[in-house]
Amino acid sequence: MRSSTEKAKETAKRELKAEPLESVIDKMITENYDRSKQSVERERFFEIPDKMVMFYKYSYGQQSRFFSELQKNKALYGSKCKGCGMVYFPPRSRCSECYSDTEWVRVKDEGTVVSSTTSWYATSEFFDKVPYAVGYVKPLDADTAMLQRIDLKSSEFVEPGTPVIARFKEKRIGVVSDFWYEVKE
Amino acid sequence: MKSYKKMKSEKGRVAVVGTGQTRFEARTPLSTYFELALEASSEAVRDAGITFAEVDSVVYGIYNDLFERQIMPDTYVHDYLGLYGKPGTRVTTGGATGGYAFRSGFAEIASGLADVTLVIGVEKAQDCYDWAQGKSTPEVLKSIAYSADMTWEFPLGTSAASSYAILASAHMRKYGTTEEQAAMVSVKNHGNAFNNPYAQSPMKISVDDVMASRMISYPFKMLDCSLYTEGAYALVLMSENAVRRRGLKDPVWVLGIGSSNDKSFTGSRSAKDRLGMYGDIADLRNHYAAANGAYEMAGIADPGKGIDVAELHDAFSFTEIQGYEAMGFCRKGEGGKFIENGVPLMKGDLPVSPSGGLIGAGHAVGATGVMQIGEVANQLRSRAGKRQVEIKNGKGLAHSIGGPGSSYCSVSVLGVD
């Protein structure tokens, strides 16, 4: 009969199918780190490159249909309260006003900008996109507005009240950035 | 809610009796977050004339685990302060962390759970480092952006600045508030900071300088924005019984606390709801609700006349203008005029943020709200040094806000007998 420690060793060997992504990142940042600077500051304080990294396989739960319709059908779905009739966009499974259940409803691609801003500074992930506009857009047949990117084209700002229409990326993976709005001509 | 009047008649009031802080600096590589917390709280305890042994409980205001590179950072502060055996809890409500931590500290004493409570706000943001750009700020912004809803808002490239800029745009549209009026807030607060030896950003600048500074997120320019700061601020709160027993001379009483969380999905505020038609997002109704709650508890009918000094939350210059209105210092939509007329200047009728506020003193997120309350307490007990303003009614206010679309707001009103 195998001991539990032997089982544990075998499991460890079997389960790891690739180099852990954390180790890959570790190598990248430590290889590029300027050690000479570290030793100059050493008298007063000692610094090291470090990171906090997490990976997920995230389920959208009861909001899932929004993303499947977006990805498969280029369709925007909200949810309508069976009690008070409020149309939520983004959708929610239960009304936050009267706590009745909601049902899925398709909302229009056309909407109105509630308010927006134009970002000229961003984190590295978005830095090559500046300037870009983000704003709250309310579809014509919904009661709440959703944050979304609004194509600036040649302008620098999108005024509140501007009519917009949804556009969809060719390659959609089921994330909110699969679509955006542009000003309706 | 128990009124201040009732607490006073029952001799059950809560006082601020000690303050302590570190310098607010862009980066403090010589100190970790727990070392900053130790420095500020040692000062606060000394100021109150007590020892750590006499502390019954602690409330920690620390916003962001990613800043500190540590989940549950409070437990390591607690250990470092040698406070084992005593209860410690952490509050984290974005930019409003300090205000809400104070609320919890007040509750510890008002409920009778403790006689002496330490409220410690600490933050150390700038160890975050973006290896692609070779600097801290973009990575600090990223760690804050994770506070946006990860499914619906983060993937769009939102930031703290864009979240508040959208509210400012709505205010400009509805009331005609101008970028120049907001710039006046920046000029005032950078200037006030010269009188605060702990401040990060004292600057002599003009409205033109603000207008010409680089665009961050329209309508916010660089000089409309507070900078990220490392530092700590601590308060010692004490029950009325303990104050009397120790014969402390200048306790600053907590007259009222009001707090309100609005919907964190700013877009859902545009619907008709239980709180009435919102219609737009120009007016921050949770700020109005928090102020009204604090005034009601304090028994203040006319804040324009009753309040001597205020520290308002100016993470962005426009936000202070929205604050004037929500705090009742002026009418809805007249916040721009309020600064234009000079009322909140040091020599005005109602000086706002003599410390320099977040723009001048710095925004050490979890420590910020605690700092604002400590500043008001020191004004009321005439210990504000060069930034001291005239105290006529013996009342001051601190306004602490945070979260996506400013969804958290806590207002604290303090006073002296």
pLDDT of residue A39: 58
- Chain A residues within 8 A of B214 when measuring between CB atoms: 120-121
Encoding tokens for residue A128? 């090559």
Round to whole Å and give the CA distance between A137 and A112: 5
pLDDT of residue A41: 58
Q: Is residue B54 part of a domain?
A: yes
Round to whole Å and give the CA distance between A51 and B132: 14
Nearest to B155 among A45, A116, A175 (CB): A175
Look at A134 and B215 and tell me if their CB atoms are within 8 Å: no
Whole-number mean pLDDT of chain A?
92
Look at B166 and A116 and tell me if their CB atoms are within 8 Å: yes
Closest chain B residue to A58 measured between Cα atoms? Answer: B151
Of B177, B265, B165, give the one whose Cα is nearest residue A121. B165
Q: Residue B352 pairs with which residues in a beta bridge?
A: B310
Q: Residue A113 pairs with which residues in a beta bridge?
A: A137
The answer to whether the CB of A167 falls within 8 A of the CB of A156 is no
Please give the tally of structural domains in chain B. Answer: 1
Look at B30 and A44 and tell me if their CB atoms are within 8 Å: yes
Q: Is residue B32 part of a domain?
A: yes
Mean pLDDT for the stretch of residues B99-112: 98
Look at A118 and B141 and tell me if their CB atoms are within 8 Å: no
Could you tell me what percent of chain B has a pLDDT over 90?
Answer: 95
Min Cα distance B234 → chain A (Å) is 25
Q: DSSP labels for B75-88?
A: HHHHHHTT-TTS-E
Q: Is residue B86 part of a domain?
A: yes
- ipTM of the complex as predicted: 0.94
Look at A176 and B165 and tell me if their CB atoms are within 8 Å: no
Min Cα distance A91 → chain B (Å) is 11
Min Cα distance A12 → chain B (Å) is 27
Contacts of A94-99 spanning 24+ positions with Cβ under 8 A: A96/B263, A96/B268, A97/B273, A97/B274
Question: Residue B348's Cα: distance from chain center in Å?
Answer: 22
Q: Is residue B34 part of a domain?
A: yes
A/B interface, count of CB pairs below 8 Å: 148
Q: Is residue B186 part of a domain?
A: no
pLDDT of residue A16: 82
Closest chain B residue to A147 measured between Cα atoms? Answer: B153
Mean pLDDT for the stretch of residues A44-57: 90
Could you tell me what percent of chain B has a pLDDT over 70?
Answer: 99
The answer to whether the CB of B55 falls within 8 A of the CB of B118 is yes
pLDDT tier at B296, thresholds 50, 70, 90: very high
Q: Is residue B235 part of a domain?
A: yes
Look at B266 and A136 and tell me if their CB atoms are within 8 Å: yes
CATH of the domain at B104: 3.40.47.10
- Chain A residues within 8 A of B151 when measuring between CB atoms: 58, 60, 63, 176
The residue assigned the tokens 């801290």 is B136
Closest chain B residue to A145 measured between Cα atoms? Answer: B267
Min Cα distance B65 → chain A (Å) is 10
Whole-number mean pLDDT of chain B?
96
Question: Which of the pair, B135 or B205, is modelled with greater confidence?
Answer: B205
Q: Is pLDDT of A42 > 60?
A: no
Look at B162 and A117 and tell me if their CB atoms are within 8 Å: yes
Min Cα distance B274 → chain A (Å) is 7
Best mutation site among B136, B217, B281 for testing chain A: the one with the most A CBs within 10 Å? Answer: B217
Q: Tens of pLDDT along A118-128?
A: 999 988 889 88
Q: Tens of pLDDT along A60-117?
A: 999 999 999 999 999 999 999 999 999 999 999 999 999 999 999 999 999 999 999 9
- Chain B residues within 8 A of A177 when measuring between CB atoms: 155-156
- Chain B residues within 8 A of A114 when measuring between CB atoms: 170, 267, 270, 280-281
Look at A115 and B173 and tell me if their CB atoms are within 8 Å: yes
Q: Is residue B246 part of a domain?
A: no
- Chain A residues within 8 A of B261 when measuring between CB atoms: none
Whether omega for the bond prior to residue A90 falls within 30 degrees of 0, making it cis, is yes
Q: Is residue B88 part of a domain?
A: yes
Q: DSSP labels for B197-216?
A: TT-S------HHHHHHSPEE
Q: Which domain holds residue B81?
A: 4-127+229-239
The CB-side HSE value for B407 (13 A sphere, CA atoms) comes to 18
pLDDT of residue A37: 67
Q: Residue B254 pairs with which residues in a beta bridge?
A: B414
- Chain B residues within 8 A of A148 when measuring between CB atoms: 156
Q: Is pLDDT of A40 > 60?
A: no
Q: Tens of pLDDT along B303-356?
A: 988 999 999 999 999 999 999 999 999 999 999 999 999 999 999 999 999 999
Round to whole Å and give the CA distance between A1 and B370: 62
List the beta strands (DSSP E) in B114-261: 116-123, 215-217, 220-221, 231-239, 252-261
Mean pLDDT for the stretch of residues B15-36: 97
Q: Which amino acid is at A55?
A: F
